[in-house]
Amino acid sequence: MRILAIETAVIEVGVALADETGPLASVTARPGRRQAETLHPAIADLLRIAEIAPSQLDAIAVDIGPGLFTGLRVGVATAKALAGALGLPVVTATSLEVLVAACPSAFGMVVPVVDMRRGEVAWTMPASPEPGFRVGAPGELAAELAALAAEGAGPVLLVGDGALFHRGLLEGATTPAPVFAGPELAAPPVASLAVLAIAAMRNGTCCDPAEVGALYGREADARINWTTREAREAVSQ
Protein backbone atom coordinates (compact mmCIF):
# COMPACT_ATOMS: atom_id res chain seq x y z
CA MET A 1 0.00 0.00 0.00
CA ARG A 2 1.50 3.34 -1.07
CA ILE A 3 0.00 6.71 -0.20
CA LEU A 4 0.91 10.15 -1.49
CA ALA A 5 0.19 12.80 1.16
CA ILE A 6 -0.31 16.51 0.40
CA GLU A 7 0.05 19.26 3.01
CA THR A 8 -0.70 22.92 2.20
CA ALA A 9 -3.01 24.02 5.01
CA VAL A 10 -0.78 26.45 6.87
CA ILE A 11 2.67 27.89 6.09
CA GLU A 12 4.27 24.82 4.59
CA VAL A 13 3.91 22.98 1.30
CA GLY A 14 4.78 19.33 1.79
CA VAL A 15 4.40 16.02 0.01
CA ALA A 16 5.30 12.59 1.33
CA LEU A 17 5.13 8.96 0.36
CA ALA A 18 4.44 6.23 2.88
CA ASP A 19 3.64 2.53 3.02
CA GLU A 20 2.98 0.09 5.86
CA THR A 21 6.59 0.47 7.07
CA GLY A 22 6.27 4.22 7.49
CA PRO A 23 7.37 7.31 5.55
CA LEU A 24 9.46 6.59 2.45
CA ALA A 25 10.33 10.11 1.29
CA SER A 26 9.18 13.69 1.71
CA VAL A 27 9.72 17.14 0.22
CA THR A 28 8.82 20.32 2.12
CA ALA A 29 9.15 24.06 1.61
CA ARG A 30 7.79 27.29 3.07
CA PRO A 31 7.20 29.28 -0.10
CA GLY A 32 5.03 32.14 1.15
CA ARG A 33 2.15 32.66 -1.27
CA ARG A 34 3.57 30.44 -4.03
CA GLN A 35 1.77 27.23 -3.04
CA ALA A 36 0.61 26.22 -6.51
CA GLU A 37 4.00 26.91 -8.09
CA THR A 38 5.68 24.83 -5.38
CA LEU A 39 3.30 21.90 -4.94
CA HIS A 40 3.23 20.41 -8.42
CA PRO A 41 7.03 20.31 -8.94
CA ALA A 42 7.39 18.90 -5.41
CA ILE A 43 5.08 15.99 -6.28
CA ALA A 44 7.07 15.26 -9.45
CA ASP A 45 10.37 15.43 -7.55
CA LEU A 46 9.06 13.16 -4.79
CA LEU A 47 7.92 10.44 -7.18
CA ARG A 48 11.23 10.67 -9.04
CA ILE A 49 13.29 10.41 -5.84
CA ALA A 50 11.26 7.42 -4.61
CA GLU A 51 11.26 5.85 -8.10
CA ILE A 52 7.50 5.35 -7.93
CA ALA A 53 5.13 5.94 -10.83
CA PRO A 54 1.71 7.53 -10.21
CA SER A 55 0.12 4.25 -11.32
CA GLN A 56 1.75 2.52 -8.32
CA LEU A 57 -0.10 4.67 -5.78
CA ASP A 58 -3.04 3.28 -3.82
CA ALA A 59 -4.51 6.49 -2.36
CA ILE A 60 -4.04 10.23 -1.99
CA ALA A 61 -4.09 11.88 1.43
CA VAL A 62 -4.70 15.58 2.02
CA ASP A 63 -4.94 17.98 4.93
CA ILE A 64 -8.37 19.65 4.64
CA GLY A 65 -7.84 22.38 7.23
CA PRO A 66 -8.58 24.52 9.06
CA GLY A 67 -5.97 26.85 7.66
CA LEU A 68 -5.33 29.49 5.04
CA PHE A 69 -7.75 29.76 2.16
CA THR A 70 -5.33 29.79 -0.77
CA GLY A 71 -3.18 26.94 0.51
CA LEU A 72 -6.18 24.74 1.27
CA ARG A 73 -7.75 25.43 -2.09
CA VAL A 74 -4.52 24.44 -3.89
CA GLY A 75 -3.95 21.28 -1.84
CA VAL A 76 -7.51 19.98 -1.90
CA ALA A 77 -7.96 20.70 -5.61
CA THR A 78 -4.70 18.93 -6.44
CA ALA A 79 -5.57 15.90 -4.33
CA LYS A 80 -9.01 15.59 -5.94
CA ALA A 81 -7.62 15.99 -9.44
CA LEU A 82 -4.88 13.39 -8.92
CA ALA A 83 -7.20 10.91 -7.25
CA GLY A 84 -9.85 11.37 -9.91
CA ALA A 85 -7.38 10.95 -12.77
CA LEU A 86 -5.82 7.85 -11.23
CA GLY A 87 -9.07 6.31 -9.95
CA LEU A 88 -7.89 6.38 -6.33
CA PRO A 89 -9.65 7.03 -3.02
CA VAL A 90 -8.81 10.03 -0.85
CA VAL A 91 -7.94 10.00 2.84
CA THR A 92 -8.48 13.25 4.74
CA ALA A 93 -7.25 14.60 8.06
CA THR A 94 -7.49 18.01 9.69
CA SER A 95 -4.45 20.18 10.28
CA LEU A 96 -5.14 19.95 14.01
CA GLU A 97 -5.23 16.15 13.93
CA VAL A 98 -1.91 16.05 12.09
CA LEU A 99 -0.26 18.40 14.58
CA VAL A 100 -1.37 16.22 17.50
CA ALA A 101 -0.18 13.06 15.75
CA ALA A 102 3.26 14.61 15.29
CA CYS A 103 3.74 15.18 19.03
CA PRO A 104 5.39 12.76 21.47
CA SER A 105 2.85 10.36 22.95
CA ALA A 106 4.32 11.00 26.41
CA PHE A 107 2.69 14.44 26.34
CA GLY A 108 -0.91 13.58 27.07
CA MET A 109 -2.30 17.13 26.91
CA VAL A 110 -1.62 18.53 23.45
CA VAL A 111 -3.45 21.62 22.19
CA PRO A 112 -2.90 22.30 18.46
CA VAL A 113 -3.30 25.94 17.44
CA VAL A 114 -3.43 27.15 13.82
CA ASP A 115 -3.12 30.84 12.98
CA MET A 116 -6.11 31.89 10.88
CA ARG A 117 -4.93 35.51 10.40
CA ARG A 118 -7.14 38.52 11.13
CA GLY A 119 -6.55 38.03 14.85
CA GLU A 120 -8.08 34.55 15.01
CA VAL A 121 -6.83 31.04 15.70
CA ALA A 122 -8.30 27.56 15.38
CA TRP A 123 -7.77 24.96 18.08
CA THR A 124 -9.04 21.81 19.73
CA MET A 125 -8.94 21.01 23.44
CA PRO A 126 -8.08 17.56 24.82
CA ALA A 127 -11.14 15.44 25.63
CA SER A 128 -13.49 18.28 24.74
CA PRO A 129 -17.17 17.25 24.73
CA GLU A 130 -17.72 19.57 21.74
CA PRO A 131 -17.05 17.95 18.35
CA GLY A 132 -14.84 19.61 15.78
CA PHE A 133 -12.63 22.63 16.36
CA ARG A 134 -13.04 26.16 17.63
CA VAL A 135 -12.20 29.41 15.82
CA GLY A 136 -11.87 32.59 17.82
CA ALA A 137 -9.60 35.21 19.32
CA PRO A 138 -6.43 34.06 21.10
CA GLY A 139 -7.91 35.44 24.31
CA GLU A 140 -10.69 32.86 24.12
CA LEU A 141 -8.13 30.09 23.88
CA ALA A 142 -6.20 31.58 26.81
CA ALA A 143 -9.39 31.48 28.90
CA GLU A 144 -9.96 27.82 28.02
CA LEU A 145 -6.36 27.00 28.97
CA ALA A 146 -6.86 28.75 32.31
CA ALA A 147 -10.03 26.75 32.93
CA LEU A 148 -8.18 23.54 32.07
CA ALA A 149 -5.47 24.39 34.61
CA ALA A 150 -8.08 25.21 37.26
CA GLU A 151 -9.47 21.72 36.83
CA GLY A 152 -6.07 20.30 37.81
CA ALA A 153 -4.92 19.24 34.37
CA GLY A 154 -1.26 18.39 33.95
CA PRO A 155 1.28 20.13 31.70
CA VAL A 156 -0.05 21.31 28.35
CA LEU A 157 1.92 21.29 25.11
CA LEU A 158 0.93 23.96 22.60
CA VAL A 159 1.86 23.22 19.01
CA GLY A 160 1.35 25.02 15.69
CA ASP A 161 2.05 28.43 14.20
CA GLY A 162 -0.87 29.97 16.09
CA ALA A 163 0.71 29.02 19.41
CA LEU A 164 4.06 30.51 18.41
CA PHE A 165 2.57 33.70 17.00
CA HIS A 166 0.51 34.37 20.15
CA ARG A 167 3.00 32.95 22.63
CA GLY A 168 3.20 36.14 24.69
CA LEU A 169 -0.50 35.95 25.48
CA LEU A 170 -0.86 32.20 25.83
CA GLU A 171 2.11 31.51 28.09
CA GLY A 172 0.56 33.73 30.75
CA ALA A 173 -2.71 31.81 30.70
CA THR A 174 -1.68 29.12 33.19
CA THR A 175 0.72 28.54 36.06
CA PRO A 176 3.03 26.85 35.32
CA ALA A 177 3.14 28.19 31.77
CA PRO A 178 2.33 25.82 28.90
CA VAL A 179 5.14 24.15 27.00
CA PHE A 180 5.56 25.37 23.43
CA ALA A 181 6.75 23.21 20.55
CA GLY A 182 9.40 24.71 18.30
CA PRO A 183 9.17 26.15 14.77
CA GLU A 184 9.70 22.70 13.27
CA LEU A 185 6.10 21.97 14.33
CA ALA A 186 4.68 25.31 13.25
CA ALA A 187 3.08 23.51 10.30
CA PRO A 188 1.51 20.04 10.30
CA PRO A 189 4.30 17.64 9.23
CA VAL A 190 3.37 15.94 5.97
CA ALA A 191 5.07 12.71 7.06
CA SER A 192 2.68 12.52 10.02
CA LEU A 193 -0.24 13.02 7.64
CA ALA A 194 1.05 10.13 5.52
CA VAL A 195 1.30 7.83 8.55
CA LEU A 196 -2.22 8.77 9.67
CA ALA A 197 -3.45 7.99 6.17
CA ILE A 198 -1.89 4.53 6.18
CA ALA A 199 -3.72 3.74 9.43
CA ALA A 200 -6.96 5.11 7.98
CA MET A 201 -6.61 2.94 4.89
CA ARG A 202 -6.15 -0.15 7.06
CA ASN A 203 -9.44 0.73 8.75
CA GLY A 204 -11.17 1.38 5.44
CA THR A 205 -11.58 5.09 6.21
CA CYS A 206 -11.39 6.80 2.84
CA CYS A 207 -13.75 8.54 0.46
CA ASP A 208 -14.48 9.34 -3.15
CA PRO A 209 -12.60 12.40 -4.45
CA ALA A 210 -15.88 14.13 -5.25
CA GLU A 211 -16.82 14.07 -1.55
CA VAL A 212 -13.71 15.93 -0.38
CA GLY A 213 -14.01 19.56 0.70
CA ALA A 214 -11.86 21.98 2.66
CA LEU A 215 -12.59 23.13 6.21
CA TYR A 216 -11.75 26.80 5.87
CA GLY A 217 -12.98 27.71 9.35
CA ARG A 218 -14.24 31.08 8.13
CA GLU A 219 -14.93 32.95 4.91
CA ALA A 220 -12.06 33.87 2.62
CA ASP A 221 -10.46 37.29 3.14
CA ALA A 222 -11.81 38.49 -0.21
CA ARG A 223 -15.37 37.66 0.85
CA ILE A 224 -14.88 39.27 4.27
CA ASN A 225 -13.52 42.42 2.64
CA TRP A 226 -16.46 42.55 0.22
CA THR A 227 -19.01 42.08 3.02
CA THR A 228 -17.34 44.81 5.09
CA ARG A 229 -17.34 47.14 2.10
CA GLU A 230 -21.06 46.50 1.46
CA ALA A 231 -21.84 47.25 5.10
CA ARG A 232 -19.90 50.53 5.00
CA GLU A 233 -21.63 51.60 1.79
CA ALA A 234 -25.06 50.77 3.23
CA VAL A 235 -24.34 52.93 6.30
CA SER A 236 -23.10 55.85 4.19
CA GLN A 237 -26.25 55.92 2.03
pLDDT grade, residue 214 (50/70/90)? very high
- Fold match, 3-96+188-228 / 104-185: yes
* Whether residue 60 has pLDDT greater than 70: yes
The predicted structure's pLDDT at residue 106: 72
The predicted structure's pLDDT at residue 127: 73
Residue 122's DSSP bridge partners are: 114, 135
pLDDT grade, residue 202 (50/70/90)? very high
- Rounded CA-CA distance 7/193 in Å is 8
Residue 18's DSSP bridge partners are: 3, 23
Spell out the residues 6+ positions from residue 217 whose beta carbon is closer than 8 angstroms to its own: 65, 66, 67, 116, 122, 133, 135
| 38-55 tens-digit pLDDT | 999 999 999 999 999 999
What residue spans define the domains of the chain?
A: 3-96+188-228, 104-185
Mean pLDDT computed over 26-45: 94
- Rounded CA-CA distance 218/46 in Å is 32
The predicted structure's pLDDT at residue 231: 41
Where helices occur in the chain by DSSP H, the ranges are 35-50, 69-86, 95-101, 138-150, 161-165, 167-170, 190-202, 221-236
Domain 104-185 top-level CATH class? alpha beta
Q: Does domain 3-96+188-228 have CATH number 3.30.70.270?
A: no
The predicted structure's pLDDT at residue 126: 85
- First-to-last alpha carbon distance for the chain, in angstroms, is 62
Is there a contact between 125 and 141 (Cβ–Cβ < 8 Å)? no
The predicted structure's pLDDT at residue 225: 42
